[in-house]
């Protein structure tokens, strides 16, 4: 290459005596004398020490700001003081020529490159190109590349074809808000960016493709969370024809564990088959449908035991308990943990302890004196136990208890085997629920899912023989370490069953045809049974990297307000551009 013969991470002792050219960013210059100093040059591959020993070379680098790009030609020699922590720590380069290839014109950087993760996030996102120069940040993006390549190879070896699906499509009621794109040629009409390739991959199955996958970009106008990026995200989208739930499980149980074990922060990952837990059991046992199975704590029902207590928050409510043996949390730590649980769950938790004599003490213990013996027997209490309580409606109590379980498992020694990846399948999700706003029957999750038992189950519910809320769907979630990686389902491929499923939520055949015309028409030409899933690539890499925020593994993430502060997006556009797509802004545009 014209600019370099070696990278900054390549040279070793065996290269001593060679004349080389390296290029990279000037990370630091440490002057020892007027014409003597040590320059650290950094590129994508590593760093190399350059020793300045002449007035001529010092005259080039001294007035040059850090982070300028340089080309250095010189001789490799063995270092007198070796650095075993550096890959190139045995050698140094004595330059005969230094060229400034790209000058940094700023005396002050927005943050120190190698400590950019300590900087304010808004500064990191605005100067993301500088943040990415930090090897620690860069390595997350490198990990992402390696994982995506491994997923592609594994899926190809499983017989799947990588097929890309459209980005400009029709708006579809998939549960989140669409990003809309106005049409220039069709005034008043809009494309939508796909929330997922859901319908297209099902149409591929109907078209006769047997196994499909892609690393699919998805677009949803939703708020950010620690494990969710606003705007766009990527998923390993897959679909299989003539397949059951077990077939889908078998593929991912072969594909994911080796990748997690090879690339993850932890080298241990669940072996097949992953544990299967019904949705209702997950909520009862773990207080969440995203359980972290590295924690050995469970949620126990204490409703009947606490029904007679004089403690008002327990009266007439569902009460759940989480018992932690050998808990040594101090009062201050307990108060802090309870406050965090309340913020995260929206419900106030309560607690008490069992002292060395087997008596209840602290927290709400004074309200439970009469129930002590019953609680001890039912909950298996022993001296040193901590008992966390959650109360409210069933859903509120489960949610609060689930957060309690998670927090206590992480805080109390001996209850969490943290350094591993523990997968599980959550199965048998409810097909329907009562809508909070409508008060009527609505789809609980994916309307494309096949109801367990097919048409006969729906007909029985229609005849009043079973409660519609008891109907489960052939839908499943993949969970790892308390993070939902994916939802998937056996698809409803029969138009008759599809129409009947929608009739349950007061939508007729005309509504199905209007909302999903391509699927309905395609299925009427004979569709195979098919099933699929779409694990989130961003969440996978976040887990593998051991990061708490998904923004750490995305090259150019938006901030929490769905803004790209580096590119100033979203941004105003010219009036002419709006006219071309037949758009008028009503009211003042937001600055």
pLDDT (tens digit per residue) in 5-16:
999 999 999 999
Do the domain assignments include residue 1? no
pLDDT (tens digit per residue) in 97-128:
999 999 999 999 999 999 999 999 999 999 99
Above 90 in pLDDT, residue 147?
yes
Exposure string over 70-85, b if 16+ CB within 10 A, otherwise e? bbbbbebbebeeeeee
pLDDT value for 302: 96
Instruction: Clarify whether residues 569 and 482 are in a common domain.
Output: no
Residues forming a β-bridge with 86:
none
Is pTM, for the whole model, over 0.85? yes
Instruction: Clarify whether residues 537 and 519 are in a common domain.
Output: no
Instruction: Clarify whether residues 546 and 498 are in a common domain.
Output: no
pLDDT value for 516: 86
Report whether 227 contacts 483 (CB < 8 A).
yes
The domain boundary, picked from 490, 511, 528, lies at: 528
- Specify the pairing of strand 161-162 against strand 211-220: parallel
Q: Tell me which residue of 134, 130, 6 sits closest to 71, measured CA to CA.
A: 6
d(CA 413, CA 325): 10
pLDDT value for 1: 84
Q: Tell me which residue of 3, 37, 48 sits closest to 21, measured CA to CA.
A: 3
d(CA 261, CA 280): 30
d(CA 491, CA 205): 11
Instruction: Clarify whether residues 142 and 260 are in a common domain.
Output: yes
The domain that holds 258 is classified in CATH as 3.30.930.10
d(CA 294, CA 303): 27
Of 21-30, 436-445, 521-530, 554-563, minimum mean pLDDT range: 436-445
d(CA 102, CA 113): 17
The domain boundary, picked from 54, 85, 102, lies at: 102
Q: Considering the chain, what percentage of its residues have pLDDT values greater than 70?
A: 99
Of 134-143, 254-263, 376-385, 436-445, minimum mean pLDDT range: 436-445
Above 60 in pLDDT, residue 591?
no
What is the domain range of residue 86?
13-102
pLDDT value for 223: 82
Of 92-101, 306-315, 391-400, minimum mean pLDDT range: 306-315
Report whether 64 contacts 70 (CB < 8 A).
yes
Instruction: Clarify whether residues 262 and 141 are in a common domain.
Output: yes
The domain that holds 394 is classified in CATH as 3.30.1360.30
Above 70 in pLDDT, residue 46?
yes
Do the domain assignments include residue 248? yes
Q: Is 145 exposed, middle or buried (0-12, 13-18, 19+ CB in 10 A)?
A: exposed
Q: Tell me which residue of 213, 171, 221 sits closest to 192, measured CA to CA.
A: 171
Residue 103 neighbours by CB under 8 Å, 6+ apart: 64, 65, 68
DSSP 268-334: -BPPSSPEEEEHHHHHHHHSSSS--TTB---EEE-HHHHTT-S-GGGTTSEEEEEEETT----HHHH
Instruction: Clarify whether residues 405 and 433 are in a common domain.
Output: no
Mean pLDDT calculated for residue range 281-303: 97
Instruction: Clarify whether residues 34 and 61 are in a common domain.
Output: yes
Residues forming a β-bridge with 196:
none
Mean pLDDT value across the chain? 94
Mean pLDDT calculated for residue range 411-416: 94
pLDDT value for 447: 83
Q: What 3-state DSSP class applies to 98?
A: strand
Instruction: Clarify whether residues 432 and 391 are in a common domain.
Output: no
Scan for tokens 């992480």, then name that residue: 410
Mean pLDDT calculated for residue range 572-585: 93
Mean pLDDT calculated for residue range 314-340: 95
Q: Is 256 exposed, middle or buried (0-12, 13-18, 19+ CB in 10 A)?
A: buried
Residues forming a β-bridge with 488:
476, 533
Split at pLDDT 50, 70, 90, the class of 588 is low
Instruction: Clarify whether residues 558 and 503 are in a common domain.
Output: no
Tokens of 195: 């929330």
Mean pLDDT calculated for residue range 359-368: 94
Above 90 in pLDDT, residue 40?
yes
Instruction: Clarify whether residues 143 and 177 are in a common domain.
Output: yes
Instruction: Clarify whether residues 147 and 176 are in a common domain.
Output: yes
Mean pLDDT calculated for residue range 292-310: 94
pLDDT (tens digit per residue) in 185-228:
999 999 999 999 999 999 999 999 999 999 999 999 988 776 77
How many structural domains does the chain have?
4
d(CA 205, CA 31): 66
Tokens of 123: 């500064």
Query: What is the distance of C-alpha 276 from the center of its chain?
Result: 21
**CA atoms lying within 13 Å on the CB side of residue 91:** 23
Torsion of CA 353, 359, 365, 370, to 10 degrees: 140
Mean pLDDT calculated for residue range 167-175: 81
Scan for tokens 């939520």, then name that residue: 505
Split at pLDDT 50, 70, 90, the class of 503 is very high
**DSSP symbol at 470:** G
User: Angle, to 10 degrees, between the axis of helix 279-286 and the axis of helix 394-411?
Assistant: 60
Instruction: Clarify whether residues 495 and 558 are in a common domain.
Output: no
Mean pLDDT calculated for residue range 507-536: 93
User: Angle, to 10 degrees, between the axis of helix 135-157 and the axis of helix 245-263?
Assistant: 140
Residue 414 neighbours by CB under 8 Å, 6+ apart: 326
Residue 518 neighbours by CB under 8 Å, 6+ apart: 199, 203
Q: What 3-state DSSP class applies to 242?
A: coil
């Amino acid at each position: 290459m014209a600019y370099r013969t070696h990278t900054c991470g390549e040279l070793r002792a065996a290269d001593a005596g060679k004349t080389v050219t390296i290029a990279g960013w000037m990370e630091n210059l440490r002057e020892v004398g007027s014409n003597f100093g040590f320059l650290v040059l950094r590129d994508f591959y590593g760093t190399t020490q350059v020793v300045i020993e002449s007035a001529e070379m010092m005259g080039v680098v001294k007035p040059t700001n850090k982070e300028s790009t340089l080309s250095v030609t010189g001789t490799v020699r063995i270092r007198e003081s070796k650095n075993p922590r550096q890959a190139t720590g045995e050698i140094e380069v004595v330059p005969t020529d230094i060229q400034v290839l790209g000058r940094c014109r700023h005396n002050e950087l927005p943050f120190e490159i190698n400590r950019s993760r300590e900087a304010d996030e808004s500064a990191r996102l605005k100067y993301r190109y500088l943040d990415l120069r930090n090897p620690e940040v860069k390595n997350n993006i490198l990990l992402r590349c390696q994982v995506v390549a491994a997923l592609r190879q594994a899926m190809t070896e499983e017989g799947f074809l990588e097929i890309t699906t459209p980005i400009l499509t029709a708006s579809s009621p998939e549960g989140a808000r669409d990003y809309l794109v106005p049409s220039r040629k069709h005034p008043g009409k809009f494309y939508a960016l796909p929330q997922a390739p859901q319908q297209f991959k099902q149409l591929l199955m109907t078209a006769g493709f047997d196994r499909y996958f892609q690393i699919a970009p998805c677009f949803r106008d939703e708020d950010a969370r620690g494990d969710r990026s606003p705007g766009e995200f990527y998923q390993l989208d897959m679909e299989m024809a003539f397949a059951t739930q077990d077939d889908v499980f078998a593929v991912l149980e072969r594909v994911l564990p080796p990748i997690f074990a090879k690339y993850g922060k932890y080298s241990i990952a669940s072996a097949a088959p992953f544990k299967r837990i019904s949705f209702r059991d997950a909520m009862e046992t773990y207080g969440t449908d995203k359980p972290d199975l590295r924690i050995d704590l469970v949620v126990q029902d204490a409703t009947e035991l606490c029904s007679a207590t004089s403690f008002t928050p327990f009266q007439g409510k569902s009460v759940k308990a989480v018992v932690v043996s050998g808990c040594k949390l101090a009062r201050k730590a307990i108060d802090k943990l309870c406050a965090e649980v309340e913020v995260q769950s929206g419900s106030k938790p309560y607690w008490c302890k069992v002292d060395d004599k087997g008596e209840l003490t602290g927290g709400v213990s004074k309200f439970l004196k009469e129930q002590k013996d019953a609680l001890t027997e039912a909950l298996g209490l022993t001296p040193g136990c901590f008992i966390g309580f959650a109360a409210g409606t069933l859903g509120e109590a489960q949610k609060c208890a689930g957060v309690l379980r998670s927090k206590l498992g992480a805080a109390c020694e001996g209850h969490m085997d943290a350094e591993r990846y523990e997968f599980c399948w959550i199965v048998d999700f409810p097909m329907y629920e009562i809508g909070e706003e409508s008060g009527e029957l609505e789809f609980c999750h994916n309307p494309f899912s096949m109801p367990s038992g097919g048409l006969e189950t729906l007909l029985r519910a229609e005849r009043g023989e079973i409660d519609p809320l008891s109907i489960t769907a052939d839908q499943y979630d993949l969970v790892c370490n308390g993070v939902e990686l994916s939802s998937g389902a056996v698809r409803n491929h029969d138009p008759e069953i599809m129409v009947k499923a929608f009739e349950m939520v007061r939508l007729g055949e005309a509504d199905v045809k209007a909302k999903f015309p391509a699927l309905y028409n395609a299925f009427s030409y004979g569709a195979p049974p098919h099933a699929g899933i779409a694990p989130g690539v961003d969440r996978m890499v976040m887990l593998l990297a051991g990061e708490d925020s998904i923004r750490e593994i995305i090259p150019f993430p938006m901030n929490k307000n769905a803004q790209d502060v580096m590119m100033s997006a979203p941004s105003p556009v010219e009036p002419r551009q709006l006219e071309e797509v037949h758009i008028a802004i009503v009211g003042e545009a937001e600055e």
